[in-house]
Amino acid sequence: MTFLELKNEILDQNLCTSCGACVAACSPRLLEISVDAIVPHLGAGVTAIDCGSCNECLSVCPGKYTDVAASETILFGRRRTESERWTGVMGQTYLAAATDETIRGAASAGGAVTSLLASSLHSGLVDGCLVIGRDEQRPWVPVPRIVTSDAELLETAQASYCITPNLQLLRDTTLERIAVVGLACQIQAIQKWRRSDPDGPAAKVALTIELACSSNTLRTGTEHLIQDQLRLPLTDVTRMRYRHGDYPGAFTAWDGGGETHSLPFHKLVLAFREHKTFRCQSCPDWWSGLADISVADGDANIFRTSKATAEGEAAPEKLSLLVTRTQSGATAVARAVDRGDLHLTPSEFVPAESLGLQRKVNRYASYARQFPGAVPHAPLPGAEVDNPKDDNDVISELSRTS
């Protein structure tokens, strides 16, 4: 009765990441998940007895046991060192920008992810991309999609700051080589899945690109911004973007008359803190370090930049921080450069300067102290800060402008 184990160990402990891997891995198709019910559940008429002795769902779940060490050993032949606790095993680091102005304009930052996906499609590395789009009838609701065209990629270019189950789509797609854009927990699930079922749906994943994540947000956070801060009824929203316009972008909703209603990005950071799950708040990873390619904003402190541009400072250039980790990742990046889709400048990543990473460093250490044994396993146990700072203090200290 593995679903009962999943329920007891993960769901009832608020450790579900809502990645959807368990649903896709369930070969009897007993589990369901959706954008409206983001926690996996048994389908209509199904009971836990129907699971028998199957352990597929729990074996792929990254909720508590992320199994980073086992995945790193397979990917890199070694585990990360203490100095790599929050970065993982890194290859080359770049500042990247899409050469296509339309892609760069539509993207949250430099458009590196969209350019890599488009290049990988055109060069035959993949034949589909698992990304996050918007519900056509409810534009504030994110939905996972497997897309195959430039137009679809452009429409889904923006980051989505909202929990969205996505890996369940791998179960039924007829495409054989999929690029997956995901967060740390989703990449961890894919790697666990590859080990537990080498010939299963995870074998379709040909390229993984992960986005840095300070913590994801429930849909109530987005609805709060629209209804309570923009004073716009949800039924009036015809389009929505989290980071529209000049960098770093503003949360923007369009009404039925075509008018825009916006909030500067730094207000999202503060408002979203009240709309998190325990699993996201206690997450031990900014990047999983297990993807072929890791991406973040080229700007280490979007919060500070958002406040500065709202006060009249010039917006910086849109750039992505891009890290290659595997040979597959390096190949995808090289092809994008050779095709003229991506411009790279060698760079470095300084963890101490990254607001998103430092918020997670301190938050995880705090949660691990408050809830010993009840938080997800860190990739390298015992390497946390001794005296974690309050989130407000982290934001304040790293966001000072003078």
Lowest mean pLDDT among 177-181, 344-348, 352-356, 383-387: 383-387
- pLDDT for residue 45 is more than 90: no
Cα distances (Å, whole numbers) of residue 273 to 6, 26, 218, 356: 27, 33, 10, 13
Residues 6+ positions from 84 with CB-CB distance below 8 Å: 90, 289, 380
* Residue 55 pLDDT: 86
Residue pLDDT, tens place only, 359-389: 999 999 999 999 999 999 999 988 899 999 9
Q: Hey, what amino acid is at 255? A: D
Amino acid at 241: R
Listed in sequence order, the residues at least 6 apart from 262 whose beta carbon sits closer than 8 Å to its beta carbon are: 230, 244, 245, 250, 251, 252, 253
Two tokens, residue 101: 């102005």
DSSP E strands, 198-268: 205-211, 239-244, 250-254, 260-264
pTM over 0.95: yes
- 260 DSSP β-pair partners: 254
For 124-141, what is the mean pLDDT? Answer: 97
Is 125 within 8 Å of 207 (Cβ atoms)?
yes
pLDDT of residue 149 exceeding 70: yes
Confidence band, pLDDT 50/70/90 cuts, at residue 179: very high
Type of residue numbered 143: V
Residue 161 C-beta-side C-alpha neighbours within 13 Å = 22
Residue 1's pLDDT is 59
pLDDT per residue as tens digits for the range 231-286: 999 999 999 999 999 999 999 999 999 999 999 999 999 999 999 999 999 999 99
pLDDT at res. 352: 95
Instruction: Give the count of alpha carbons within 13 A of 1, CB side only.
Output: 9
Q: Is the pLDDT confidence value at 401 over 90?
A: no
Give me the pLDDT at residue 91, please: 97
Count of alpha carbons within 13 Å of 358, Cβ hemisphere only?
23
- At a CB cut-off of 8 Å and minimum separation 6, what does 169 contact? 20, 24, 130, 144, 145, 146
Q: In the numeric block, which tokens belong to residue 181?
A: 């854009």
**Amino acid at residue number 31:** L
DSSP string, 82-142: GGGTTT-S---EEEEEESSHHHHHHSSSS-HHHHHHHHHHHTTS-SEEEEEEE-SS-TTSE
pLDDT digits (tens, 9 = 90+) for 300-317: 999 999 999 988 899 899
Q: Work out the angle at residue 397's Cα, subtended by the Cα atoms of residues 394 and 402, and round it to the nearest 5 degrees.
A: 155
Residue range 312-343, pLDDT digits in tens: 899 899 999 999 999 999 999 999 999 999 99
**Residue 47: pLDDT over 90:** no
